[in-house]
Amino acid sequence: MSQKEASLEVITCGISQVYKIKMPDEDLENLKLYAAEVLSSWTKYADYTYNLAGHIKKGKQLRLPDNEDRLKNYYAMLSEASADYYHTYLNRIGKRGDPSYEIKAMQLQDTWLNSYYEGDYNPNHDHGTLSPIGLSSFTFLNTPDCIKSVHDLENPHISANEPDVLDGHTVINWGYSYNSADQQVESLQFEQGIHLYPEEGTTYIFPKWMDHQVYPFRGEGVRISMATNVSIWPAKYQK
């Protein structure tokens, strides 16, 4: 086919996607109450430290029961959002409608509660799932005042060079940046990661291979989050 005029096509280089979900206030309050009850009677729950990367010396990492009735709204939200995430991806790569990739089962593989005190942190790590197709997620439930007081609501794209501003933040990385933040415009490179303020009631969902970490904070109070891994089983892996 002959072409008489110039044409332009933009090919995006984004490697994947991250979902951000803000839950209703009522659901957040119910989860905060549940988390408080779990932490006040933590000896009744399995210590999940052995299976996690966290360097949490003062707080707890507790495995939560899969059949907990008080988590049913949370589980329903994760299942619905994870299915949407997967279908959005299939649409993007042109596989939606392929019987081999139709979801046959959605498995919330495990859920655990994290409580961080001053100095506790989580080094760079990723997660694993039973299915080859898996998602990770975490939800912020409680943010100490010492973190809130230094957070800049007017400037969410903060620099790692600013003191204290990143205390208690979670970082998700999906690539490697060859330039400093100050050189981003000069390099014409998009962000390769994001610093997330632990906003209460906010859930993030992303592929299990994405590295992430939690910075320590200084001050009083407890930072509480809940995490869940999701295994997606399409027909291809039905056996």
pTM: 0.91
Burial grade of 121 (CB within 10 A; 0-12, 13-18, 19 or more): middle
How far, in Å, CA of 85 to CA of 109, rounded?
17
Q: What is the pLDDT of residue 7?
A: 66
What does the radius of gyration of the chain's CA atoms come to, in whole angstroms?
20
Burial grade of 45 (CB within 10 A; 0-12, 13-18, 19 or more): middle
Could you tell me whether strands 19-22 and 46-47 are parallel, antiparallel, or unpaired per DSSP bridges? Answer: unpaired
DSSP bridge partners of 205: 19, 137
Per-residue tokens: 225: 């989050």
In this structure, which amino acid lies at residue 143? T
Residue the block writes with tokens 């589980």: 75
Contact 197, 176 (CB under 8 A): no
Q: What is the pLDDT of residue 163?
A: 54
**Residue 149 host element (H or E):** none
Q: What 8-state DSSP symbol labels residue 84?
A: H
What is the longest distance spanned by two Cα atoms in the chain?
A: 74
Alpha helices in 118-216 (DSSP H): 145-148, 184-187
pLDDT in tens, the chain (239 residues): 577 786 667 777 788 999 999 999 999 999 999 999 999 999 999 999 999 999 999 999 999 998 899 999 999 999 999 999 999 999 999 999 999 999 999 999 999 999 999 999 999 999 999 999 999 999 999 999 999 987 655 455 554 555 568 899 999 999 887 767 667 777 788 888 898 999 999 999 999 999 999 999 999 999 999 999 999 999 998 76
Other beta carbons within 10 Å of 58: 11
Q: What is the pLDDT of residue 125?
A: 95
